[in-house]
């Protein structure tokens, strides 16, 4: 199928998030810091000149919660050359077969330090062995470490949740939808990996029910962010996917559109809307949901490079972004 060559109409959801890049975070961090800002005329050491800061998309509506740490990584500003095709190093954060584990670990630590403004102690990063299911795993500080000695995830499933502070829940994606949820009252948090299979398994809807059951979360207190992922502009699917959703969701037909691509009709699916509907069905207020609205398959930087890794657009030879959510002690 000519999936990569499909025409790309405007995404159905307008980007809610202008890029809040690292620069904004660093600016905020410096304002809080007691140390004076470095003089702009002072030359950078060679190492910082060579490496750009980790690319990060933050959620503007969440900056009002000082206890909440969250963000979605981009492809830029990392240490990996595996997928860079001779260009600047990139921020691969998944243990992919083509990349070097030590490089990936170092890149993860850089991103965590950026997101947490190098707070000490650094929060513990928890990831999960993702397998496109509806399995939801609770993590507690008492269960640490939840990694192998070489920093790989131990738990299996596609969602993590906790109420313990100083843990960073991480979801790896390269087209699938990362969904982050926080309870502004209890400070419970959850991170979801929602590809079409996880979405079909209602992983987000069930995850919210789990927060209610385990922590007494009230949907009206929850906020959610749907991260960069493949948009309806680029996500062509087979008729069997549409049939599955139509058989299980009353709103199924609203998630699909037919697009003529080189005279061949294609079915495109809107995973952002599918997950937004699950959040709404779980009781969240529409205004509490942020959809970042960046398509991982077709969003480009001004210089033409890809802003994100895309499994679909790059035929599987690509890195992974890391979506993170955590809370501080207070
Ligand atoms: Zn697209």
CATH code where residue 204 lies: 3.60.140.10
Q: What is the pLDDT of residue 330?
A: 55
Both 87 and 168 in one domain: the answer is yes
pLDDT bracket for residue 33 (50, 70, 90): very low
CA of 312 to the centre of ligand 1 (A): 10
Q: What is the pLDDT of residue 329?
A: 79
Q: What is the pLDDT of residue 92?
A: 98
Q: What is the mean pLDDT of the chain?
A: 87
Between CA 234 and CA 9 the distance in angstroms is 9
Both 215 and 246 in one domain: the answer is no
Both 169 and 108 in one domain: the answer is yes
Both 100 and 247 in one domain: the answer is no
Does residue 300 belong to any structural domain of this protein?
A: yes
Higher pLDDT, 141 or 265: 141
Both 146 and 118 in one domain: the answer is yes
Both 240 and 224 in one domain: the answer is no
Both 282 and 177 in one domain: the answer is yes
CA of 180 to the centre of ligand 1 (A): 21
CA of 109 to the centre of ligand 1 (A): 30
Question: Would you state the torsion angle of the CA atoms of residues 30, 32, 34, 40, taken in this order, to the nearest 10 degrees?
Answer: 20
Does residue 161 belong to any structural domain of this protein?
A: yes
Does residue 23 belong to any structural domain of this protein?
A: no
Does residue 178 belong to any structural domain of this protein?
A: yes
Does residue 295 belong to any structural domain of this protein?
A: yes
Task: Give the residue-averaged pLDDT of 69-82.
Answer: 97
Does residue 24 belong to any structural domain of this protein?
A: no
The answer to whether residue 5 scores a pLDDT higher than 60 is no
CA of 192 to the centre of ligand 1 (A): 21
The answer to whether residue 14 scores a pLDDT higher than 80 is no
- Domain tally for the chain? 2
Q: What is the pLDDT of residue 281?
A: 98
Nearest to 320 by CA among 329, 312, 330, 308: 308
190 vs 139, 225, 268, CA distance in Å?
10, 11, 28
Does residue 35 belong to any structural domain of this protein?
A: no
Q: What is the pLDDT of residue 13?
A: 43
CB 205 within 8 A of CB 192: no
Does residue 113 belong to any structural domain of this protein?
A: yes
Between CA 55 and CA 201 the distance in angstroms is 31
Higher pLDDT, 183 or 2: 183
Ranges of beta strands (E only) in the chain are: 56-57, 68-73, 76-80, 90, 124-126, 136-138, 159-162, 167-173, 177-183, 189-194, 222-226, 236-237, 256-261, 264-269, 289-291, 321-327
Range of the domain at 148: 51-228+271-327
Both 187 and 243 in one domain: the answer is no
CA of 293 to the centre of ligand 1 (A): 10
Lowest mean pLDDT among 12-16, 171-175, 213-217, 221-225: 12-16
pLDDT bracket for residue 19 (50, 70, 90): very low
CA of 268 to the centre of ligand 1 (A): 11
Both 132 and 213 in one domain: the answer is yes
Between CA 223 and CA 289 the distance in angstroms is 6
CA of 246 to the centre of ligand 1 (A): 23
Both 180 and 72 in one domain: the answer is yes
Q: What is the pLDDT of residue 4?
A: 38
> pTM of the predicted model, to two decimals?
0.85
Both 98 and 168 in one domain: the answer is yes
């Amino acid at each position: 199928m000519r999936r990569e060559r499909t025409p790309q109409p405007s995404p159905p959801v307008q980007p809610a998030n202008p890029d809040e890049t690292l620069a904004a975070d660093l600016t905020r961090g410096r304002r809080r810091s007691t140390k004076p800002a470095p003089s702009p005329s002072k030359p950078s050491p060679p190492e910082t000149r060579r490496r750009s800061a980790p690319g990060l998309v933050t959620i503007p509506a969440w900056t009002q919660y000082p206890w909440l740490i969250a963000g979605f990584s981009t492809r830029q500003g990392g240490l990996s050359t595996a997928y860079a095709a001779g260009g600047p190093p990139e921020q691969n954060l998944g243990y992919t077969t083509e990349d070097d584990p030590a490089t990936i670990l170092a890149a993860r630590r850089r991103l965590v330090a950026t997101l947490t403004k190098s707070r000490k102690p650094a929060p513990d990063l928890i990831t999960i062995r993702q397998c496109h299911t509806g399995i939801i795993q609770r993590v507690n500080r008492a269960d640490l470490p939840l990694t192998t000695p070489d920093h790989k995830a131990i738990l299996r499933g596609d969602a993590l949740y906790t109420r313990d502070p100083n843990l960073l829940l991480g979801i790896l994606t390269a087209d699938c939808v990362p969904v982050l949820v926080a309870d502004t009252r209890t400070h419970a948090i959850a991170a979801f990996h929602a590809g079409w299979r996880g979405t079909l398994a209602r992983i987000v809807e069930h995850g919210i029910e789990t927060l209610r059951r385990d922590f007494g979360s009230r949907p009206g207190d929850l906020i959610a962010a749907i991260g960069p992922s493949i948009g309806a502009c680029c996500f062509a699917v087979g008729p069997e996917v549409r049939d599955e959703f139509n058989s299980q969701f009353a709103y199924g037909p609203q998630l699909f559109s037919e697009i003529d691509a080189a005279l061949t009709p294609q079915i495109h699916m809107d995973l952002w809307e599918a997950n937004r509907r699950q959040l709404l069905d779980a009781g969240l207020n529409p205004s509490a949901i942020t959809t970042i609205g960046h398509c991982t398959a077709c969003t480009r930087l001004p210089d033409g490079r890809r802003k994100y890794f895309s499994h679909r657009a790059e035929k599987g030879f690509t890195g992974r972004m890391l979506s993170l959510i955590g809370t501080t002690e207070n």
